[in-house]
Structure 1
Amino acid sequence: MSIHLSPNTESLLADAAQARGTTPDLLAEELLLERLQPEPDAPSTNGAADTDSPETLADQLADFIGVLHSSEHVPGGARMSVRTGEQFAAGMLEKQARRRQ
């Protein structure tokens, strides 16, 4: 799509874009979106998702993201971050021993 602007409007847009550190195209799109998006109370006419729906992936996954402590599942805690190099080496030695059997 192309939009033809008067020289005065084009100059104003270019100056405003430069002041904001963006391009005239991006600024024009931003301003048009702000102006043309329906009000939050207005029903959507294009079948788009409700404006009340989460806006970010973090918002959408908020009910599934959390922190757990291994002591909830293993008495005393699993201590999985303790001596990891030694645990890895021991696991590799066990694996090698099983192959030799």
Structure 2
Amino acid sequence: MAQEFAKSFYNSKDWKDCRASYIDKRIAIDGGMCETCHQELGKIVHHNKVWLTPENINNPNVTLNHDNLKYDCQTCHNQEKEGEEPEPPRYYFEGGRVVLIPPEE
């Protein structure tokens, strides 16, 4: 379930259009199979490399970038969310420079 700060984003037309275009892209590539197990059809498009935070929720380079998305089946998505700590938030700046933001204590 979406965190409170992200709910309006996930209801936005921009996200719905981006999600639909990513699913179309995955269908064209491999019929829409899960990008993790490659055994089941994908069901969930989620932010995979840079997780959404209150600080980056308005940054389309993070939120609407196909390079930051993954199409997984329900099982793989649930295992990823339950089994891993999220990576620290990352911000991408012009020229490809990446700055890691340390976790809050």
Give the TM-score normalised by the residue count of structure 1. Answer: 0.27
RCO (CA 8 Å, sep 6+): is it higher in 1 or 2?
Answer: 2
TM-score (norm 2): 0.26
Which structure has more strand as a fraction of its residues? 2
Between structure 1 and structure 2, the one with the greater Rg is 1
Higher helix share: 1
